[in-house]
Amino acid sequence: MRPYEIAPGTTDQAQWLRQYYFLRGAFSVAWVVAAFAIAPSSAVIAAALLVAYPAWDAAANYLDALRSGGLSQNRTQGLNVLVSLATTIAVILALQVSMNWVLGIFGAWAILSGLLQLGTAVRRWKRFGAQWAMVLSGSQSALAGGFFIFQASMPVVPSIADVAGYAAVGALYFLVSAVWLTVGTWRRRAAT
C-alpha cells in the first residue's frame, strides 16, 4: 500500500480521522496561542490551561476510540484516556506544590501518552496509511517527556511556555497528518 492509500471499505473512517486530526491540531494551536498570549498575565489562566491540556487529550482519545469501533478495539486509546485523566488530577494536585512538579508530571504523561499514540498509529497504518507523522509525534512526545523530567529536577522554575513548545510541535504533527490524509483523498479521487 502506498503512503497515501487506505484499505478498501475504510473511507468513512478515514474521513473521521482527517476531521479528528484537524480538530486536535486546531485545539493545540488555540491552546498554544492562549499559553503565550494570555497565561503570562494570569496565574489562574495558566493553571486552567495546564489542567485543560491533558483533560482535552482524554476526551479526544475517548471520542476517537468510540468513533473508531469502541474502546475494546482501541486499547491503546483506552489506556491513553486513563493516563490523561490521571494526569489531569495529578496536575491539579501538583499546581498546589510547584511548577517543577507540574512539569515532571507532564514529562511522565508525555512519555506514556506518546508511546500509546505510537501504538495507535502503528495499528492504524495498515488501514489508513498516512500515519508516519503520528509515529513521529508519539516518538517525539516520549523523548520530550524525558527532557521535561530532567528539566523539572533543575532549580529553575519552569513556566507554561515549556509545555507550550511541546504542544506546538504536537499541533504541527496533527495538522500534517490531516493534510496528508486530505491529499491522499484527492489522489484517490483523481485516480478513479
Q: What is the pLDDT of residue 2?
A: 46
- Phi first, then psi, for residue 58 (nearest 5°) are -60, -50
Query: CA dist 78 to 67, 68, 81, 142, 152, Å?
Result: 13, 12, 5, 18, 28
Q: What is the pLDDT along the chain (192 residues), one digit of tens a residue?
A: 444 444 444 567 778 889 999 999 999 999 999 999 999 999 999 999 999 999 999 999 999 999 988 888 899 999 999 999 999 999 999 999 999 999 999 999 999 999 999 998 888 877 766 678 888 888 999 999 999 999 999 999 999 999 999 999 999 999 998 898 888 777 667 777
pLDDT digits 0-9 by tens, 96-137 = 999 999 999 999 999 999 999 999 888 887 776 667 888 888
Place of cell 491540531: 25
Each domain of the chain, given as residue ranges in start order, spans 11-191
> Terminus-to-terminus CA distance in the chain, angstroms?
16
Pick from 164, 160, 154, 155: nearest CA to 43: 160
d(CA 82, CA 74): 13
CA dihedral 174, 164, 27, 120 (to 10 degrees): 40
Pull the grid cell for residue 94: 501538583
Find all residues with CB under 8 Å of 55, minimum gap 6, and list them. 84, 85, 88
d(CA 145, CA 112): 8
